[in-house]
Amino acid sequence: MEPRPSVTVAAVIERDGKFLLVEEEDDGRLLFNQPAGHLERNESLVEACAREVLEESAWHFRPRELIGIYRWSKPGSATGAGVTYLRFAFCGDLGEHEDDRRLDTGIVRAAWLDAGEIRASRERHRSPLVVRCVEDYLAGRRYPLDALIEHD
């Protein structure tokens, strides 16, 4: 039986034809990902997304629409089983940047890449969901936030 998926959030943020990604250390490699992370106890998916964007990129962000819900199973390592992620990807409004804010541990920098650069750097993506979320965003996939029913 496959373990329960780990719930994550991610932000697809476009500005002037470029997308905000973070470069992060993962298993000794530098990889690209959207600002993303895990849902924490007692926060909504939208709150989690805004928090993760700020912590990983120093940008304020307000999710406005859901791009999609994605499931991806990361292959296992030599020492154990893989992990399954359930990712909620959002787009929305980019706010102010906190120039002096320290980024989360493991995040090297925030970077702005265009769609072509993202497609060309697939071997450096944290998961195949990085490019898939951008492609879905570019295709106009959007769902209202009220599609998310969260009940405590």
Percentage of the chain beyond pLDDT 70 is 93
Q: Which amino acid is at 35?
A: P
> Is residue 25 helix, strand or coil?
strand
6-147 adopts what CATH topology? Nucleoside Triphosphate Pyrophosphohydrolase (3.90.79)
Domain segments of the chain as ranges: 6-147
For 146, residues 6+ apart whose C-beta sits below 8 A from its C-beta are none
| Mean pLDDT computed over 77-94 | 83
Per residue in 118-134, pLDDT (tens digit) is 999 999 999 999 999 99
Is pLDDT at 15 greater than 70 in this prediction?
A: yes
The owner of tokens 């989690």 is 48
Distances (CA, A) of 4 to 7, 18, 72, 74, 83: 9, 34, 12, 13, 9
pLDDT of residue 121: 98
Is pLDDT at 77 greater than 80 in this prediction?
A: no
Lowest mean pLDDT among 29-43, 78-92, 127-141: 78-92
Residue 78 binned pLDDT confidence (cut-offs 50, 70, 90): very low
Percentage of the chain beyond pLDDT 90 is 86
Distances (CA, A) of 53 to 1, 76, 77, 81: 33, 27, 28, 28
> Is residue 68 helix, strand or coil?
strand
